[in-house]
Amino acid sequence: MDAHSHAAHDPHHHHDEAHEHHELGFFRKYVFSTDHKVIGLQYLVSGLIFLFLGFCLMMLMRWQLAYPGTSVPVIGKILQNVLGPGALTNDGAGHPGLMTPEFYNSLGAMHGTIMIFLGIVPVAFAAFGNFVVPLQIGAPDMTFPKVNMASYQAFFVGGVIMLVSFFVPGGAAKGGWTSYTPLADIADQGPTYHVIFNGQTLWLIGFIFLITSSLLGAVNFIATIIQLRAKGMTWMRLPFFVWAQFVTAFLLLLAFPPLESAIVMQLMDRVAGTSFFLPSGLVVNGAQVSISGGGSPLLWQHLFWFLGHPEVYVLILPGMGIVAEIIANNTRKPLWGYKSLVLAALVLGFLSFIVWAHHMWLTGMGTVVSAFFQTTTMIISIPSVIILSAFFISLWGGSIRFTVPMLFATAFLPMFGIGGLTGIPLAFNSADLYLHDTYYVIAHFHYIVAPGTIFAVFAGVYYWYPKATGRKMSDFWGKVHFWPSLICMNAIFLPMFLQGMLGMHRRWYDGGQGWTLATEKVWGLSGFHWNTPISIAAWVMGLAQIPFIINFFWSIRHGEKVDDNPWEATTLEWTAPSPPPHGNFTTPPVAYRGPYEYSLPGRAKDYTMQTEPVQPDERKMPEPTMSLSH
Amino acid sequence: MEIPYTVTARPDTGLWNAKVGIWLFLASEVMLFGGLFSAYIFLRLDAQPGFWPHGLLNVPVGTMNTAILIASSVTVVLAWAALKMRQYAKYKFYMALTILCGVIFLFVKLYFEWPQKFDHFGAYIKPSALEKYEPYLGNKHLLSEGLPPRVEITGHLHNHEALHDPKIKEYEVGLDPIYTDPTNKEMDRPHFLYVGPTEKLAKIDKADVERATMFVPSHSAFFATYFTITGLHGLHVLGGVIVFVYMFLFGGIIYRQNPEHLANRVEVAGLFWHFVDLVWIFVFPLFYLL
Helix axes B221-257, B259-283, angle to 10 degrees: 170
Domain encompassing residue A163: 39-68+100-278+295-575
pLDDT (0 to 100) of residue A16: 42
| pLDDT tens digit sequence for A182-238 | 999 999 888 889 999 999 999 999 999 999 999 999 999 999 999 999 999 999 999
CA distance B254 to chain A (A): 10
Average pLDDT, integer, range A374-378:
95
CB pair distance less than 8 Å for B42 and A296: yes
Q: Do B43 and A295 touch (CB under 8 A)?
A: yes
If we measure between CA atoms, which residue out of A321, A359, A246, A304 comes closest to residue A113? A304
- How high is the pLDDT of residue A28? 80
Q: Are the CB atoms for A321 and A243 separated by under 8 Å?
A: yes
Domains and CATH numbers, chain B: 18-118+220-289 (1.20.120.80), 121-214 (no CATH)
Touching check for A268 and chain B: CB below 8 Å?
yes
Amino acid A619: pLDDT? 64
Cα(A378)–Cα(A509) distance, integer angstroms: 33
pLDDT digits (tens, 9 = 90+) for B128-175: 999 999 989 999 999 998 888 899 999 999 998 999 888 999 999 999
Question: What's the rounded Cα separation, in Å, for the pair A598 and A570?
Answer: 8
| Contact predicate B209/B125, CB 8 Å | yes
The nearest CA of chain B is from the CA of A452 a distance in Å of: 29
Chain B contact probe: residue of A36, A143, A256, A282 with most B CBs at under 10 A: A143
A410-462 pLDDT, tens per residue?
999 999 999 999 999 999 989 999 999 999 999 999 999 999 999 999 999 99
Instruction: Report which of residues A503 and A238 the model is more confident about.
Output: A238
Whether residue A227 contacts residue B13, with contact meaning beta carbons closer than 8 Å, is answered with yes
Q: Which residue of A has its CA nearest to B35?
A: A258
In chain A, how many domains are there?
1
Q: Is the pLDDT of residue A102 over 60?
A: yes
Is residue A512 in some structural domain?
yes
- What's residue B236's pLDDT? 97
**pLDDT at residue A19 above 80?**
no
In a domain, A542, yes or no: yes
| DSSP per-residue letters across B102-165 | HHHHHHHIIIIIHHHHHT-EEEEEPGGGGGGGHHHH-HHHHHHHTPPPP-EEEEEES-GGGGT-
A126 neighbors A217 (Cβ within 8 angstroms): yes
Task: Look at A143 and B17 and tell me if their CB atoms are within 8 Å.
Answer: yes
Shortest distance, CA A124 to any CA of chain B (angstroms)? 21
Q: Which residue of B has its CA nearest to A6?
A: B258
Q: Going by C-beta distance under 8 Å and a sequence separation of 6 or more, which residues neighbour residue A46?
A: A122, A155, A156, A159
What distance in Å separates residue B222's CA from the closest CA in chain A? Answer: 9
Q: Are A478 and A463 a contacting pair, CB within 8 Å?
A: no
| Cα–Cα distance measured from residue A52 to residue A613, given in angstroms and rounded to the nearest whole number | 45
What DSSP state is assigned to residue A294? Answer: -
Is residue A580 in some structural domain? Answer: no
Please check whether residue A606 lies inside any domain of the structure.
no
User: Is residue A612 in some structural domain?
Assistant: no
The answer to whether A247 touches A320, Cβ cutoff 8 Å, is no
Question: Is residue A383 included in any domain, yes or no?
Answer: yes
Residues of A whose CB is below 8 A from B39:
261-262, 265, 276, 299, 303
Q: Residue B114, by phi and psi: left (phi above 0), alpha (psi -120 to 50) or beta? A: alpha
Decide if B50 touches A, using CB distance below 8 A: no
* Residue contact B17–A262, C-beta within 8 A: no
Q: What is the pLDDT of residues A61-89, one digit of tens each?
A: 999 999 998 999 999 999 999 998 889 99
As a whole number, the mean pLDDT across chain B is 93
Query: What is the bridge-based pairing of β-strands B152-157 and B170-175?
Result: antiparallel
Three-state DSSP class for residue A261: helix
The pLDDT of residue A17 is 42
Among B4, B31, B224, select the one facing A268 at the smallest CB separation.
B224
% residues pLDDT > 70 (chain A):
94
- Amino acid symbol at A306: F
Q: How do residues A577-608 score in pLDDT, each as one tens digit?
A: 999 999 999 899 999 999 999 998 888 899 99
Minimal C-alpha gap between B137 and chain A (Å): 20
Residues in Cβ contact with B232 at an 8 Å cutoff, skipping those fewer than 6 apart: A264, B32, B33, B36
Contact assignment for B27 to A253 by CB distance below 8 Å: yes
pLDDT digits (tens, 9 = 90+) for A534-549: 999 999 999 999 999 9
State yes or no: cis peptide before A318, omega within 30 of 0: no
pLDDT at A625 over 60: no
In A360-512, alpha helices (H):
367-395, 404-421, 423-427, 429-435, 439-448, 455-469, 475-501
> pLDDT category, A620, cuts 50, 70, 90?
low
- Bridge-based pairing state of the strands A525-526 and A521-522: antiparallel
Q: Does B214 touch chain A (CB under 8 A)?
A: no
Query: Mean of the pLDDT values across residues B108-135?
Result: 92
Please give the single-letter amino acid code of residue A599: S
Contact (CB, 8 A) for A318 and A245: yes
Q: Mind telling me how many Å the CA of A115 is from chain B's nearest CA?
A: 24
Please determine, for residue A514, whether its predicted confidence score (pLDDT) is greater than 90. no
- Are B51 and B220 spatial neighbours (Cβ–Cβ below 8 Å)? yes
Check if the beta carbon of residue A511 is closer than 8 Å to that of residue A64.
Answer: yes
Contact B154, B219 (CB under 8 A): no
Round to whole Å and give the CA distance between B200 and B203. 10
Residue A536: what pLDDT?
97
Domain assignment of residue A290, yes or no: no
Using CB atoms within 10 Å of the CB of residue B89, give its burial: 0 to 12 exposed, 13 to 18 middle, 19+ buried: exposed
Chain A residues touching B29 at Cβ < 8 A: 257
**Average pLDDT along chain A:** 91
| B220–A296 C-beta distance less than 8 A | no
Q: What is the CATH number of the domain that holds A567?
A: 1.20.210.10
Cβ of A228 within 8 Å of Cβ of B24? The answer is: no
Q: Is residue A81 part of a domain?
A: no
Q: Say whether A2 and B1 touch across the interface (CB within 8 A).
A: no
Angle at B263 between CA B259 and CA B264, to 5 degrees: 115
Most B CBs within 10 Å: which of A9, A252, A268, A292, as the mutation test of the B interface? A292
Rounded to whole angstroms, how far apart are CA atoms A442 and B26? 36
